[in-house]
Amino acid sequence: MSLFRKKSLTVLLAQAADNEKGLKRTLGAGSLVALGIGAIIGAGLFVRTAAAAGQAAGPAVTLSFIVAAIGCAFAGLCYAEFAAMIPIAGSAYAYSYVTMGELIAWIIGWALIMEYALGAATVSIAWSEYLNILFDGGIPYSLCHSPFESFTNAAGVHQQGIINLPALFILLVITLLLIKGTAESAMVNAIIVFIKVAIVIIFIIVGWQFMKPENHTPYLIPANTPPVVDQAGKVIADYSGWNKHGWGGVLGGAAIVFFAFIGFDAVSTAAQEAKNPKRDMPIGILGSLVVCTILYILFGHVLTGVASWKDFVDPAKGREASVVYAISTYMHGYKWLATSVTVAILAGFSSVILVMLMGQSRVFYTMSTDGLLPKVFSALHPKFRTPYKSNMILFVFVGLFAAFVPGSVAGDLTSFGTLFAFVLVSIGVLILRVKSPNIERPFRAPLAPVVSILGAAICLLMIVGLDKDTLIAAFAWMILGLFVYFLYSRHHSKLKNPSDILPKAKDFN
């Protein structure tokens, strides 16, 4: 049987329309926008901004955000068209199944594990680190680090990690919340989003008074900027490359801050739980992108105005805790704001983990209803109607990673999975426009050929730009996925018996 057998759009729409046994439709446009903001505003805002400014763009990091937002907008428009037309859980996986066939759908579904599951694990490890910062290092090293990590302090005392308990704790809390219900999860996410956005806005308003015009002059990093070395004589920043100064630096900065936008696509995984997906999904996806872009630009402008971009060159100095550093060094009398920023970062991480775990469970849910994964992943709680068994399995998988593996291991694998999804969704819109031109499209991406081609091309370029080790690890993960597909999924696919699909469309759950 063909590896590229496609799922009928008629069946998929019937599956989306059958809400009697499926996921509960409880999310409105506001909740979807909040989900998007919850996934987007996290570490990217507080860390990537300073990294891009110190490494490539300088004060022009604001322009880098605009460039990155344009690239995301292309993919966002394609996601919005698909999500409004096919309001079903599964996101890029479901869209690829209709347009490019089962094997490609499986590959993208497998790749999304890198974005959602590994992303949630990595962010939970970062959550643990910032919790320790909030407690002034009061958590024992052994209980907040992987057994593969160790540390020797200035007094020569060696410390060895055993397990990362805070990371496990936040994963457990969020998993229980997701099992309780989508509406409850969305409400908690909305509260978290309000808190962190409020603190970001407060920093922008208060920090505006402390900006110095000289910090924005020159706006672009000059071509003759000398390299920066640390106390040991090691070069930590070299601005000789074309993408490290001037307008090239703006593009280089865009590649860095692009990953601060990752997460808006997770909104599309909740399409089957939207009250009015034809209207609400485009609002949720594009609305969250617009809100976050505005906040990012204002935030970057204020941050590089309060502190010079040169302060963010050395990671040991100001880059990793850039906002806290800027407040503590240049905004005297606002120590409370520095503490609030740390709380906002923890809140940001929490909402990112929530949306990532929710997105992954919904992708698994749809893959399971298609027969490509065991039925346990689509089992719904009898009362809450959430894929609770999938959530529990994810907690074990993600929890093991977070508790016992260093966060650096994931590297840019999360970004690979996201960019790969962006490429296929962009191409998928173009394919469906050609093959099914008359199908109802509640939302149409404008200039579809241009938007689709540019969206796919930009994301492909960013995949090529990932480091060699990340690409090798991603390739190995994909090979493992192919083994799973040929040994299990291909033989259990519901498309194996096409004659049974339409009559049983309501039994997919």
Does any domain span residue 392? yes
Q: Which residue has the tokens 């970001």?
A: 200
Residue 480, pLDDT score: 94
- 3-state DSSP assignment of residue 151: strand
Does any domain span residue 69? yes
Give the Cα separation of 387 and 393 in Å (integer).
10
- Which residues lie below 8 Å from residue 175, measured CB to CB, with a gap of 6+? 357, 391, 392, 394, 395
Tokens standing for residue 152: 């020797």
Residue 165, pLDDT score: 95
Q: Give DSSP secondary structure letters for 335-367.
A: HHHHHHHHHHHHHHHHHHHHHHHHHHHHHHHHH
Domain count, the chain: 1
The domain that holds 330 is classified in CATH as: 1.20.1740.10
Q: Which structural domain range is residue 293 located in?
A: 9-151+159-227+234-507
Residue 20, pLDDT score: 46
Tokens standing for residue 3: 């590896």
Q: Which helix (H) or strand (E) holds 430?
A: helix 413-435
Give the Cα separation of 274 and 463 in Å (integer).
31
* Cα–Cα distance list, 390 to 117, 132, 363 (Å): 12, 30, 10
Residue 504, pLDDT score: 43
Q: At what angle do helices 335-369 and 388-404 cross, to 10 degrees?
A: 130
Query: Is-contact 304 56, C-beta < 8 A?
Result: no
- The model's pTM is 0.77
Tokens standing for residue 209: 């008074």
Classify burial at 319, counting beta carbons within 10 Å of its beta carbon; exposed 0-12, middle 13-18, buried 19 or more.
Answer: buried
Does any domain span residue 276? yes
* Cα–Cα distance list, 144 to 151, 282, 298 (Å): 12, 40, 34
Residue 209, pLDDT score: 92
Residue 487, pLDDT score: 92
- Which residues lie below 8 Å from residue 504, measured CB to CB, with a gap of 6+? 494
Does any domain span residue 3? no
Closest-CA residue to 99 (of 463, 430, 366): 430
Does any domain span residue 364? yes
Query: Is-contact 455 422, C-beta < 8 A?
Result: yes
Query: Is-contact 318 55, C-beta < 8 A?
Result: no
Query: With a cut of 50, which residues of the chain have pLDDT below it?
Result: 20, 319, 500-509
Q: Which residue has the tokens 């604001």?
A: 62
Radius of gyration of the chain (CA): 23
Give the Cα separation of 139 and 406 in Å (integer).
17
Give the Cα separation of 6 and 175 in Å (integer).
33
Q: Please state, as a whole number, how many other Cβ atoms lie within 10 Å of the Cβ of residue 297.
A: 17
- 3-state DSSP assignment of residue 154: coil
- Which residues lie below 8 Å from residue 277, measured CB to CB, with a gap of 6+? 16, 83, 84, 87, 271
- 3-state DSSP assignment of residue 501: coil
**Sequence letter at residue 403:** A
* Cα–Cα distance list, 174 to 262, 369, 391, 454 (Å): 20, 24, 10, 36
Residue 486, pLDDT score: 92
Tokens standing for residue 165: 């308990």
C-alpha atoms less than 13 angstroms from C-alpha of 416 in its C-beta half-sphere: 26
Residue 321, pLDDT score: 63
Give the Cα separation of 451 and 417 in Å (integer).
20
Query: Is-contact 464 300, C-beta < 8 A?
Result: no
φ, ψ for residue 440 (rounded to 5)?
-65, 130
Residue 10, pLDDT score: 73
Q: Which helix (H) or strand (E) holds 317?
A: none
Tokens standing for residue 35: 């989900």
Does any domain span residue 1? no
Computed from CA positions of residues 194, 197, 203, 209, in that sequence, does the dihedral angle turn out positive or negative?
negative
φ, ψ for residue 456 (rounded to 5)?
-65, -40
Does any domain span residue 2? no
